[in-house]
C-alpha cells in the first residue's frame, strides 16, 4: 500500500478499540510477529491478510485502502486479485462473501465490474448451491454485459466462456465442454494480442482434461504439451504441475508407463515446490499403482462423473480428480 505506517497505525487503533491482543487478532491470519511489523509500518500486509483482518475487526476492507490513499483503480485491482486468489484456492464461501460485499459498491457499477462480480457469483452458485442452470444463465449474461461483436470475444469474455466449459465438464457433458473449450481457443486465435497468457493456458488445460475423460489420450497429451510450452515461454508455474499430471496420466492410459511415470514424477516435483502436499501424496500413490502395473500386476479403470480414475477404488484418487478439475 502507499502508506504502510498509516495503515499499520489504523490496524493497531482498531485492535485496541476492539480490546484484542495481537495473538487474538493474528490467529489463523498471520504470525504475531508479522502483525507487529504491520502495525509498526515495517512491511506491507497483502490484500488477503487485510481482508481477514477487516473481517475480524468488523470494518469494510476499503477502510484500509482509504487510509492508505489508494485510488479507486488500485482498490479495484486489489479486490479482483483477492477474489481470484480464493477462486484458485476453491474457497467459494469467501468468494461469495466478497462478491456480496462489493457488488453494490458505487465505484463498481460499470459493465466491466458488474461482469466480474456476476461471473464469480455464478461460479459460487454452482459450487455452493449446485445450481447448474442458474450458473449458466448468469455466465451467459456476464458475457453479454460487454459483447460488442458477434464474431470477436474479449479476453475477459473468453475467460468466462472457459468457466462455462468447466461447468459443462463438471456435469459430465463432455462433448459440450470440449466444443466450448475449442470455441474459446478459436476466439483467442482472433485476438490481435493476448495480454494474459494464463487465459490460454487454462483453456489448453481444460481441453486436455476433457479429452482425458473422453479417453482420447493422444489429443489430451497434445493440448497439455501446448500448455506446458506456454508455461515455459512465460516462465510461470501456473498449472505446470497439473499439465504434467495430465500428460503422465494419459501416457499411462496408453500403456506408455515409463514415460508416463516420468511425467508424474515431474508433477510431484512442481507440487513440492508449491508446497501442495495433498497433491504430492495422491500422485505418489497413483504412481506406485502404475509401477505395480509395470511389474505385471493388474489394475482397474474406474469411471466417475465426468472423470476417469485408474486404480482399485481408493478415495484419494477420486479426491485428486475433483481437486484437479479445470481452473476458472
Contact 53, 11 (CB under 8 A): yes
Q: Which residues pair with 303 in a beta bridge?
A: 308
Ordered per-residue pLDDT tens for the chain, 328 residues: 446 788 888 898 888 877 888 998 999 999 999 999 889 988 878 878 888 898 888 877 777 766 655 566 777 888 899 999 899 888 999 999 999 988 888 778 888 889 999 999 999 999 999 999 999 999 999 999 988 777 889 999 999 999 999 999 999 999 999 999 999 999 999 988 898 999 999 999 999 999 999 999 999 999 999 999 999 999 999 999 999 999 999 999 999 999 999 999 999 999 999 999 999 999 999 898 888 877 765 444 433 334 444 443 344 545 555 555 556 7
pLDDT tens column, 292-314: 877 765 444 433 334 444 443 34
pLDDT tens column, 193-249: 898 999 999 999 999 999 999 999 999 999 999 999 999 999 999 999 999 999 999
Q: What is the pLDDT of residue 29?
A: 93
Q: What is the pLDDT of residue 308?
A: 43
Q: What is the pLDDT of residue 41?
A: 85
Q: What is the pLDDT of residue 115?
A: 94
Q: What is the pLDDT of residue 315?
A: 42
Catalogue all structural domains in the chain, each as residue range(s) with its CATH number: 1-70 (1.10.260.40), 87-146 (no CATH), 151-328 (1.25.40.10)
Place of cell 497413483: 286
Q: What is the pLDDT of residue 66?
A: 65
Amino acid at each position: 500500500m502507499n502508506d504502510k505506517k498509516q495503515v499499520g497505525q489504523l490496524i493497531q487503533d482498531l485492535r485496541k478499540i476492539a480490546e484484542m491482543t495481537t495473538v487474538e487478532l493474528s490467529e489463523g491470519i498471520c504470525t504475531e510477529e508479522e502483525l507487529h511489523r504491520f502495525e509498526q509500518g515495517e512491511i506491507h500486509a497483502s490484500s488477503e491478510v487485510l481482508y481477514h483482518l477487516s473481517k475480524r475487526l468488523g470494518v469494510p476492507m476499503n477502510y484500509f485502502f482509504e487510509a492508505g490513499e489508494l485510488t479507486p483503480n488500485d482498490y479495484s485491482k486489489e479486490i479482483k486479485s483477492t477474489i481470484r486468489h480464493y477462486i484458485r484456492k476453491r474457497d467459494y464461501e469467501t468468494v461469495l462473501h466478497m462478491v456480496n460485499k462489493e457488488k453494490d459498491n458505487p465505484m463498481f457499477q460499470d459493465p466491466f465490474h458488474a461482469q466480474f462480480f456476476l461471473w464469480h457469483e455464478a461460479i459460487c452458485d454452482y459450487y455452493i448451491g449446485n445450481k447448474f442452470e442458474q450458473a449458466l444463465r448468469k455466465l451467459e449474461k456476464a458475457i453479454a454485459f460487454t459483447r460488442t461483436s458477434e464474431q470477436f470475444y474479449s479476453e475477459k469474455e473468453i475467460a468466462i466462456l472457459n468457466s462455462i466449459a468447466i461447468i459443462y465438464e463438471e456435469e459430465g457433458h463432455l462433448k459440450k465442454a470440449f466444443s466450448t473449450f475449442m470455441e474459446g481457443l478459436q476466439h483467442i486465435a482472433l485476438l490481435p494480442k493476448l495480454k494474459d497468457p494464463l487465459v490460454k493456458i487454462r483453456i489448453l488445460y481444460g481441453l486436455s482434461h476433457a479429452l482425458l475423460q473422453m479417453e482420447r489420450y493422444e489429443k489430451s497429451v497434445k493440448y497439455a504439451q501446448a500448455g506446458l510450452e506456454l508455461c515455459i515461454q512465460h516462465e510461470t508455474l501456473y498449472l505446470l504441475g497439473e499439465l504434467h499430471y495430465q500428460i503422465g496420466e494419459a501416457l499411462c492410459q496408453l500403456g506408455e508407463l515409463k514415460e508416463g511415470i516420468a511425467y508424474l514424477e515431474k508433477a510431484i516435483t512442481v507440487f513440492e515446490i508449491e508446497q501442495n502436499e495433498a497433491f504430492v501424496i495422491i500422485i505418489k500413490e497413483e504412481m506406485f499403482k502404475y509401477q505395480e502395473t509395470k511389474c505385471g500386476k493388474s489394475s482397474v479403470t474406474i469411471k466417475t462423473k465426468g472423470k476417469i480414475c485408474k486404480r482399485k477404488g481408493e478415495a484419494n484418487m477420486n479426491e485428486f480428480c475433483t481437486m484437479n478439475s479445470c481452473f476458472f
